[in-house]
Structure 1
Amino acid sequence: MKILVPTDLSDNAKNAFEFAKAYARQQDASITLLYAYYAVYDFAAQAAEIIQAIESDAKKALKKEIGTGREEGLQIDYKIVQGTVSTAINATVYNGDYDLVIMGTQGASGIKKTLIGSNTATVVKESEVAVIAVPAGSTFESIREITVAIELSNENEVFFKRLIELTETWNLPYQVIHVDTKSDFNKTLSFKGLEAFLNETYPDCEFHFLRIPAKETDKGLDDYLKDVSDCLLVMFSKNKTFFEFLFNRSHSVKMAYHTHVPLLVIK
């Protein structure tokens, strides 16, 4: 497995890097630290000088970052790319066959205030591979449960297979949850069918299933996550539907990406 970890060398990015290193140890994965920059200059004559200075400083900082990890036996390298963060990440993923992006979120008060319009939100939206968004202060070792939020709408076996591939080595229980906003017999059957399928297909994994009654989907999930601070939240991105669900103001979604809970978005 190859993991790409974008960094701006901030404390938040360094925390995401620590998360990635802990994950890589379990998966026997390699890590690439990616530093993207966008040089601003007034005259073309300044370009070479400014770029050289930026890349020289970045190289020193990145070598220092990866040094400890290499001493611990991890396979880590780095790349320095000129361009916007999201563009650099997507291009690097495309050209390097990466399996996962792990990056830090920004701030401490939820997606509407801290991620919409930010680099993290753009990457999560545009990435062709799974992304883990790591909030400030969150650690890999603190996770005790993998919470999988499902819509019970056009569920695809591929997403669950990818979920197991990315998380099975954690040896943690899976809490599969669905927020019921109204009585729906078909979804009741779907939920029971999914329970049977997962238990039969992945007998070595521990699954628990929970349906949460709530007037609004976001409120139900919000209330659940307030009481569970030691989980990894997993959501499936089904083309545009995930982001329509997550970001559409008409749906009043306020909850998502709680910054005290790491979020894995599976593509």
Structure 2
Amino acid sequence: MKTILVPFDFSEEAENAFAFAKELATITQAHLKLLHVIEIPTAQNFNTTGEVGLGGDDINNIFVIELVEKRKKQIKAIEEESKDKAYKFSTKLTFGNPYAGISNEVAEIKADLIIMGSKGSSGLEELLIGSNTEKVVRHATCPVITIKGAISPKSIKSIIFASDFTKENEAIIPHLKKLQANVHAQLHLVKINTPNSFESSRESFSKIKSFVDKHKLDDVKVEIYNSDSEEDGIIQYAEDNNIDMIAMATHGRTGFMHLLSGSIAEDVVNHSKRPVWTMKIKK
């Protein structure tokens, strides 16, 4: 792992994600980059150094100028705190849409991992709007770890990887093995049986065993768990077995198909209190 990107908005969840990322960067000796995106409410002229040319409403202009200066000072303080760390650290302050800013940065620095905070969403907000975190989970070209509460990578001793263990999931396994190696956790390979996707225990165990053998997975525990839905089953299994992290593949569906079928991974990110590692399956 060479580069970890942390989108940072100064929220409690972002602070938790940053703390987690700093520990992981120490373990992996990765370059840790902190990105802060300021959303400008009206049309402004600005450059990447934070110099803003404003027009329009004076009150809005004053607010933006003060916010930019405040954020520059806060980021400078973070840089000072991180200058003697065991890993390379850098920051970037930019302007615009947070999701677009994150996506552009991922492409520019070729990030190997994104670690970001998540408040989660529910109800109508979840259905119609979603969040920047959900969009990143859905579209990112590298793995994403979403963090809600304070947690240390060293405390992660178990990871559930819920899957149907078909061929389309195979591409993410090298990345999952790196995660397991970095945190030294046991991997729980779990097939969630639901009324709509039932599979016999014999068939499931055979499929998972072949998956383990093919990818040379070590320190694994194989389980079948019954539930009303995949999302509920994943979260319930994690709760019942005191699992420290959830790992999943996401299909990255968008538009009409996303509204029809949704995304189990995004639902789990929204509703789980545990950190969730996700990676998009490339089509």
TM-score surpassing 0.5? yes
Residue of structure 2 in register with 1:184 after alignment: 199
Moved more, 30-39 or 255-264: 255-264
Are 1:198 and 2:212 counterparts? yes
2:55 to 33, 38, 44: 44
CA distance in 1: counterparts of 2:143 and 2:108, whole angstroms: 16
RMSD: 3.3
- Structure 2 residue matching 1:156: 3-state secondary structure: helix
Moved more, 15-24 or 61-70: 61-70
Map 1:39-188; keep pairs closer than 5 Å. Answer: 39-41=40-42, 44=55, 53-106=66-119, 111-112=121-122, 116=126, 117-181=130-194, 183-184=198-199, 188=202
CA distance in 2: counterparts of 1:254 and 1:48, whole angstroms: 36
Letter matched to residue 18 of structure 1:
A
CA distance in 1: counterparts of 2:10 and 2:160, whole angstroms: 30
CA distance in 2: counterparts of 1:222 and 1:129, whole angstroms: 23
CA distance in 2: counterparts of 1:27 and 1:244, whole angstroms: 38
Moved more, 228-237 or 15-24: 228-237
- Structure 1 residue matching 2:83: 3-state secondary structure: helix
Contact 1:247 1:253 (C-alpha < 8 Å) held by counterparts: no
CA change 1:6–1:247 in 2 (3 A) is farther
CA change 1:201–1:259 in 2 (3 A) is closer
- Structure 1 residue matching 2:20: 3-state secondary structure: helix
- 1:215 CA displacement: 3.7
Contact 1:36 1:81 (C-alpha < 8 Å) held by counterparts: yes
CA distance in 2: counterparts of 1:86 and 1:63, whole angstroms: 23
Letter matched to residue 14 of structure 1:
E
Deviations 1:93-144 (A, max 9, x none): 11121111100011xxx65369832221122122222111001233323322
CA distance in 1: counterparts of 2:161 and 2:39, whole angstroms: 37
Segments of structure 2 that go 5 or more residues without pairing to the other structure are: 44-53
CA distance in 2: counterparts of 1:168 and 1:230, whole angstroms: 17
